[in-house]
Amino acid sequence: NAGVTQTPKFRVLKTGQSMTLLCAQDMNHEYMYWYRQDPGMGLRLIHYSVGEGTTAKGEVPDGYNVSRLKKQNFLLGLESAAPSQTSVYFCASSYSSGSNQPQHFGDGTRLSIL
């Protein structure tokens, strides 16, 4: 079982460049999430989705956009990367009713913005 797969695993960008982080899950989960993890700050929710075609803002949505065109995929976009977006990004999914179900995480994408 692949579970939650994130691509790429590592990326270095220059300020102002754009990119898309891909997340795919094969567990037929309804809920999907994007988090960023910075030292000493735990996991902060960027955006989430409660089903195909739906997205919503989390704690720190500024500078990011997302799309959920297919149930199994959740994409995170950076339109104009900034050094403050240097972080480790985790995608997660859960079966239903987000906060009452365990979340399954991908391996993360380590992103550096120069």
Partner 1 sequence: GQQVMQIPQYQHVQEGEDFTTYCNSSTTLSNIQWYKQRPGGHPVFLIQLVKSGEVKKQKRLTFQFGEAKKNSSLHITATQTTDVGTYFCASGTGGFKTIFGAGTRLFVKA
Question: Which residues of the chain form contacts with partner 1 (CB under 8 A)?
Answer: 31, 35, 40-45, 48, 50, 56, 58-59, 90, 92, 97-100, 102-108
Closest distance between partner 1 and the C-beta of residue 58, in Å?
Answer: 7
Nearer to partner 1, 38 or 79 (CB): 38
Compute the distance between CA of residue 111 and CA of residue 114 in angstroms, rounded to an integer. Answer: 10
* CB distance 103 to 89 below 8 Å: no
Compute the distance between CA of residue 82 and CA of residue 74 in angstroms, rounded to an integer. Answer: 22
Compute the distance between CA of residue 21 and CA of residue 54 in angstroms, rounded to an integer. Answer: 18
Nearer to partner 1, 16 or 53 (CB): 53
- Sign of the C-alpha dihedral, residues 112, 85, 97, 100? positive
Closest distance between partner 1 and the C-beta of residue 22, in Å?
Answer: 16
Nearer to partner 1, 85 or 103 (CB): 103
Closest distance between partner 1 and the C-beta of residue 18, in Å?
Answer: 25
